[in-house]
Every structure is written in C-alpha cells, then in structure tokens.
Chains A and B, each alone.
Chain A
C-alpha cells in the first residue's frame, strides 16, 4: 500500500528532525523506512501511527546524534553518518598525525647544518606554495559549504575548516630553522590534499543522485 502525501511528509519530517540531510544516506534511509511502513501496513492490521512509531523506534539507535574526538566534539551527525565519516577519515587522520611527529624526529636525529641562504630560499618557496595551496583549500571549502546538497564528504570538509585556518598563517610567519615550519607545512599540504580528495568524492556522490539534484 503506497503512503499518502501526508504520511510521506511525516517520514521526511522525522528525518529532518534527526539531521539526516546527507544525500548519500537520506535517499536510501527514506526509501527503507517508507518500504518498511508500506509492507507493515499491508501485512499487519494496524494503523499508520502505530507502525510509524514502531519503525522509527527501530531507526532511532542509528539516527541519534553522535560525535567523535577525531572531528572535535562540536561537530555532530546521525550515528550512521558519523560511523562512515570516521571510517573514511581515519587513514588521513593517522597520516597527518605521522606528519606532525616525523619531521621533528628526523631533524633531531640528522642535526642538519643549513646555511642561512638555504633557510631563506626554502622559507620563501614554502610561503609561495602555501599561498597557492591556500587558494585551492579556500575554493574547495567555500564551494562545499555553499552547496545545498550535503554528503558525508562535505561533512568531513566542514569539520576541518576551523583547524586549518591557523596553518597558513604560521607557515607564512615562521622560518625553517627548526622542524616546526616543515611540520606545519606538511600538515597543511596533507589537509589541502584531503580537501581536494573529499571535494571530488562529494561531487562524485552528487552525480549518483542527479535525478534528485537535477
């Protein structure tokens, strides 16, 4: 039995309330819930309200708001979305963590004697590259934040928007005498890489739903 417009609206409102705005989950979960209700209405001799509460009660566990230390506790999403975001982001998180530690360790072991000219030239090169990368980062971040269509990938980009702001500033104001600037630079490069990769994935995901997006 197909649901009426009002009943469909109830399901949509439920998903809005749960914050399921991510297209890569919304379409699928909406279809699943509506299919479940339609089938139950056919099989069981019960009214829509009762079935609606049974089905949504079953989904609540997966759709309740959840957060993770990986993204910062300020960012939350339905549990099912958060779980996927964590799975997708974890390799990048640990890669960036290694980049934070490795240059410092290498520098202390190698004890390099670098001439001031080399330091100066490398600093300038890092600044120019950082500036170029900043524009790429800005483009991908602004483009995804303005996009009305949200995916798990745009959620990840959003969670990284605050932490990255200080990185180019520090790169532009430091020298490479110690491992710090190199560390910051490498972390910044990896974050821009992350943004570009997830921006592309976001676009690819949208492409699958072109019927809806238009």
Chain B
C-alpha cells in the first residue's frame, strides 16, 4: 500500500499489458483485475486510471468501443496496432528497469 508512488510511473505499461492479454476491457474491470493480480497490493485510483486511459487513446495506442450492457452504456478499450507494438517496447523497457533496480538494490542476487 505504501508503494503506490513507486507504481505510478508504470501505470501505462500495466494498462497496456492487461489489454494485450484481455482483448478489450473497461475502466472498472481494469481496476479490479489489477487488484486481483497483485492481491490488493496495488489499487489504481479513478483519478489516475482515466487520465492514463485518455492519454493512451489520444496517442493512438488505444481504440474505444461503446456498447450497451444491461441498463447502461460501457466504454471498452482495446489495443490498436501501434498500441501492440508500444506494449512490447514498454515491457522491454520495464524489464531493463527492473534489472537495473535489482543490480542497485540487491547486487548479489541480480538477474544476470
């Protein structure tokens, strides 16, 4: 819970990764999936989620689809072709970052 600031810079990568695995998702679903996968360690707030989604959409990495679900409309996000490429790049960057952090924090047990 105290690590929320450390996760902040990775929010876009987390969203892209989830969408790469799930075809299309809506806002609330993303927050719940992250909570589930991290066993409650990471809770994405609405104030951080929607600006990130809208930014990715404006950059052409996400496409939206509005569908009627039950008694209301739902906005789904899915990866565009560029989004799929960018996801691979961002994940590679993330791996590099984790490797570097590992070397800094715990040199004896670094990944290499």
Structural contact, B46 and A2, CB atoms closer than 8 A = no
Asked if residues B47 and A2 are in contact (CB atoms below 8 Å), the reply is: no
**Taking A8-B71, A31-B73, A34-B72 as contacts, is the C-beta distance between A62 and B28 under 8 angstroms?**
no
Is the Cβ of A80 less than 8 Å from the Cβ of B66? no
Q: Hey, which chain A residues are within 8 Å of B71, CB to CB?
A: 2-3, 8
Which chain B residue shows the least CB distance to A27? B73
Q: Is A124 an interface residue (CB 8 A)?
A: no
Interface pick from A138-146, A167-175, A204-212? A204-212
B47 x A62 contact (CB < 8 A)? yes
Question: In the complex the two chains form, is A211's CB within 8 Å of B50's CB?
Answer: no
With contact pairs A211-B66, A211-B67 given, residues A62 and B46 touching in the complex (Cβ less than 8 Å): yes
CB < 8 Å neighbour of A31 from B27, B47, B55:
B27
Q: How large is the interface on B (under 10, 10 to 19, 20 to 34, 35 or more residues)?
A: 20 to 34
Chain B, residues 44-79, CB within 8 Å of chain A (1/0): the string is: 001100110011000000001011111111110000
Chain B residues closer than 8 Å to A39, beta-carbon distance = 32
Map CB proximity to B onto A60-90 as digits: 1 under 8 Å, 0 otherwise: 0110000000000000000010011001000
Q: Does A35 touch B at the CB level, under 8 Å?
A: yes
Least CB distance, A95 to chain B, in whole angstroms:
17
Binding site for A on B (CB under 8 A): 26-29, 32, 46-47, 50-51, 54-55, 64, 66-75
Interface residues of A (CB under 8 A from B): 2-3, 8, 25, 27-32, 34-36, 39, 58-59, 61-62, 80, 83-84, 87, 208-212
